[in-house]
Amino acid sequence: MRVTISPSALMAVFLCFAYTTTAFWRMPCRTRSAIARLDPLVSNGSISQHVHAIHGSGGFSDSASYEDLIAGSCTSCQVTQDKSAYWTPALYFQSSSGDFTLVEQVGGMLAYYLLYPNAGNTSLSAFPAGFQMIAGNTNYRNFSDYAVPDIQKSLWYQPPYNTQAFLEQAALGFNCLNYAKTPEGSLYRHFMPDKAYLDANCADGLRLELMFPSCWTGETFEVKDQKSHMAYPSEVMTGDCPSGFPIRLPSLFYETIWNTAAFIGQAGQFVLANGDPTGYGYHGDFMMGWDPAFLQDAVNTCTNPSGQIQDCPLFNIQNEDTVCNATLPAALETENVLASIPALPGNVPIVSGPAPASGATAGSPVTGAPPAPSSVGTQAAPVPTLSYSAGSSVASTDSYKPGGIFAVSIPTNAAGVAAAPSVSVTQAPVATPLSNTQSFFSTEYTTSGQNVLEVLWVEEIVTVTDPVTTTVMVPGRKRHLNRHVHQAVH
């Protein structure tokens, strides 16, 4: 008997397959479109308070609109159809003599589009035309009383963890990179390790991570704070949307790597461009710059669990070293944002917390004197230490729980040593039933499905020690992925 399969039947099979695995793509934006005090979402038409590392459309400017992004003649991201703009504060090193140097950004930026529909739904909405949002809060300088490290996600249903206030802070990650060791998990540490810790442990630098909220009111995105139209799902990246935010959009996740290791042995501190030496005030901005119909097609069809843009037939891919510059206002053309700067560009004050920063307004382009000695090297906020945590090994003892929770059983044998996080808490005590490190749970294992874990591992291919090999996957992880694909097909 001859069997014919209609295209629509094939599509149904494909979609089913797509959403039982982790559908996503990883947008590489290897070059910056600007490193400048630009931020049309916060300071439209004027110079922004602090310096951002900016990627994406050449139509970006201090007053860019969606139409400007779309009309941009180029993009610094590798998919030519992506004219979005992505930006985060830059990272600076302040030497003991007080001057600032931009830390080298390695490998540009990766923007993950993780395609998690709401539970019980097989489709996902693309970002609508003109969509924009901000994640994180530039003025934050403490982690409240939340446990360090995170309590396991299965306990996030209770206060204070079932709040947007917590989820917003749990959406920040500071990943200590040491390619000789098993990688840390994503979003494991929500604050910037101090200089001594970075020197001692992070031989390959620091990866800044930012998860955006993915639950939308569905009503508008023209909100003054660029935030109140969006909420995090219950597990930051995965989980359920809160009431009032029914529409699930792609879950956007930014990664940038900064070569903090270049300053090993030099006295000083790292500080984000917004005057934040703690990391709690890390944040990021997104302006959608796709054709919305095209993006919806991509969301529906670019579901290969490899996450590689090359596996999406819709994408037009350009060289990763494509130069595409945004437009700078004349006042910023000569602003020194690179090295030997006497103050953070914009004269942004360093606020170490724990009280919030005031959101000081933008200063003029830097010409000023060095900052007062009192602001040099101060670290008033108690910064917790969090020992190196290997995020590897999906131990066979891991159990999947409904709702997307992986509870990791910590192995007690020698082979499990690397997987068992060794945790030292010097900030908030763990105020939950999980005060016992034996039941500690690595956040990176908590997803809506086992494959999500693989997404987070695959990202480790950003072996930026050698940018030429960035697309080489770690064989073991690829094997995992293949296995999951196999499972999903059956």
Ligand X SMILES: *[C@@H]1O[C@H](CO)[C@@H](O)[C@H](O)[C@H]1NC(C)=O
Rule CB under 6 A: which residues touch ligand X? Answer: 40-41, 44-45, 63, 65, 121, 123-125, 139-140, 142, 247-248, 323, 325, 354-356
Cα distance between residue 246 and residue 237, in whole Å: 15
Find the shortest distance in angstroms from Cβ 40 to ligand X: 4
CB of 63 to ligand X, least distance (A): 4
Which three-class secondary structure state does DSSP give residue 24? strand
Give least dist CB 406 to ligand X, A: 25
- C-beta closer to ligand X: residue 130 or 370: 130
Q: Residue 198 CB, nearest distance to ligand X (Å)?
A: 24
Helices (H), 286-353: 292-301, 330-333
Contacting residues for 489 by C-beta, under 8 A, at least 6 apart: 17
For ligand X, the closer of residues 59 and 305 by Cβ is 59
CA gap 117, 122 in Å, rounded: 6
Q: Which is nearer to ligand X, 30 or 248 (CB)?
A: 248
The b/e string for 361-392 (b: 16+ C-beta within 10 A; e otherwise) is ebbebbeeeebeeebbbeeebebbbbebbbbb
108 Cβ partners below 8 Å, 6+ apart?
Answer: 28, 29, 30, 31, 32, 55, 76, 256, 320
Cβ closer to ligand X: 21 or 125? 125
Written as one letter, the residue type at 230 is: M
Nearer to ligand X, 191 or 406 (CB): 191
Q: In whole angstroms, what is the distance from residue 119 CA to residue 67 CA? A: 34
Cβ within 8 Å of residue 4, ≥6 positions away: none
CA atoms within 13 A on the CB side of 44: 9
| Inter-residue contact 130 to 166 (CB < 8 Å) | no
Q: Looking at beta carbons, which residue is closest to ligand X?
A: 65
CB nearer to ligand X: pick between 248 and 477 = 248
Minimum distance of ligand X from residue 25's CB (angstroms): 18
Shortest Å distance, C-beta 466 to ligand X: 23
Residue 223 beta carbon to ligand X: minimum distance, rounded to whole angstroms: 11
Q: Kindly tell me which of 370 and 403 has the beta carbon lying closer to ligand X.
A: 403
